[in-house]
Amino acid sequence: MASLREIKTKITSTKKTSQITKAMEMVSASKLNRAEQNAKAFVPYMEKIQEVVASIAGGGRKFNHPMMTARPVKRTGYIVITSDRGLAGAYNSNVLRALSKEIQDRHKLDSSQYAIVVIGRTGRDYLKRRGFNIIDQITGLSDQPVFSDIREIASRAVSMFADEAYDELYIYYNHYVSKIQQEVAATKVLPLTDIQSNKPSRYYEFEPSEEDILKVLLPQYAESLIYGALLDGKASEHAARMTAMKNATDNAKDVIDTLTLSYNRARQAAITQEITEIVGGAAALE
């Protein structure tokens, strides 16, 4: 049985740990509020650019833009969004497990059939250790990323599709549902075959021409899909970390209660033992 000093030391260290996890929970809650605002603020832009693209592509004319044309799939590209740090519950493991299963089922881990662009140090380290085919990566993103942070890697991912480095592109990330619920999402980014089937809500007049505008707008639209998924994933990350730290704080309180009960019992037993020894000694002197 642990001594009173050992139990007291455990109680003290657990209390300090709970103070840290409580502080991390509050920090994550603050970051989550900002991340939610960023994700919501990006929605009107995405809706407008999608509306303009649909107005061109869904206007009855057929365009031969490579980003809108499906071709035989010989190689698939994947973008996976993870965090740079841990202590976020199952945030990283869920999305990495889903991606790993998809690659195993579809490609049998044959690197010639797939390529991965990874965002986040946790995902990079996990996939690299297991020998997955990583062709591009980015780490060290801020907790509230702006588009310029990922413009280069998003542009390269879209350009590689245009250059036929792969024939389709998916993005895997955690979709933010609520503060206590995040779901793994797999979204098809390229080719943009669904745009032409969307009926435009309004029509525009374009200058200089619809084809010239599509050449500029479609890459921006695809890059925006990636950035939107990143904002969504960041909100999920902060929510997952907030929940994980709250659970850790609650568990620490339970441990402290259990240790305190053990401490009081051990202390009572020690006092009882001392009283028994005193009584026994007094009886021996009579």
Q: What is the token pair recorded at 241?
A: 């970390």
> In the predicted model, is pLDDT for residue 214 greater than 90?
no
Compute the average pLDDT of residues 72-101: 92
3-state secondary structure of 65: coil
Q: How far apart are CA 29 and CA 14, in angstroms?
A: 22
Closest to 87 in 3D by CA, of 195, 276, 241, 249: 241
pLDDT of residue 171: 95
Q: What is the token pair recorded at 102?
A: 């998809």
At residue 16 the predicted structure's pLDDT band, cuts being 50, 70 and 90, is: very high
Please give the distance of CA 151 from its chain centroid, rounded to a whole number: 19
**pLDDT per residue over 238-282, tens digit each?**
999 999 999 999 999 999 999 889 888 888 877 887 777 777 776
Contact 123, 136 (CB under 8 A): no
Give the fold, CATH level 3, of 25-243: Pyruvate Kinase; Chain: A, domain 1 (3.40.1380)
Q: What is the token pair recorded at 248?
A: 């850790």
> In the predicted model, is pLDDT for residue 59 greater than 60?
no
Compute the average pLDDT of residues 102-122: 91
Q: What is the token pair recorded at 204?
A: 């525009």
- 174 - beta bridge partners? 184
Among the ranges given (130-144, 196-210, 214-228, 234-248), the one the predictor scored with the smallest mean pLDDT? 196-210
User: How many CB atoms are located within 10 Å of the residue 36 CB?
Assistant: 17
Query: What integer best gives the mean pLDDT of the chain?
Result: 86
Q: What is the token pair recorded at 165?
A: 């480095």
- 188 - beta bridge partners? 170
> In the predicted model, is pLDDT for residue 122 greater than 90?
yes
Q: How far apart are CA 216 and CA 106, in angstroms?
A: 33
Percent over 90 (pLDDT), the chain: 44
> In the predicted model, is pLDDT for residue 123 greater than 90?
yes
Q: Name residues whose C-beta falls within 8 Å of residue 155's C-beta, 6 or more positions apart in sequence.
A: 219, 223
DSSP labels, 120-174: SHHHHHHHHHTT--EEEEE----SS--HHHHHHHHHHHHHHHHTTS-SEEEEEEE
pLDDT of residue 57: 66
Percent over 70 (pLDDT), the chain: 90
pLDDT of residue 114: 93
> In the predicted model, is pLDDT for residue 14 greater than 60?
yes
Q: What are residue 5's phi and psi, to 5 degrees? A: -65, -40
Q: Which amino acid does the sequence have at 236?
A: S
Q: What is the token pair recorded at 177?
A: 């549902």
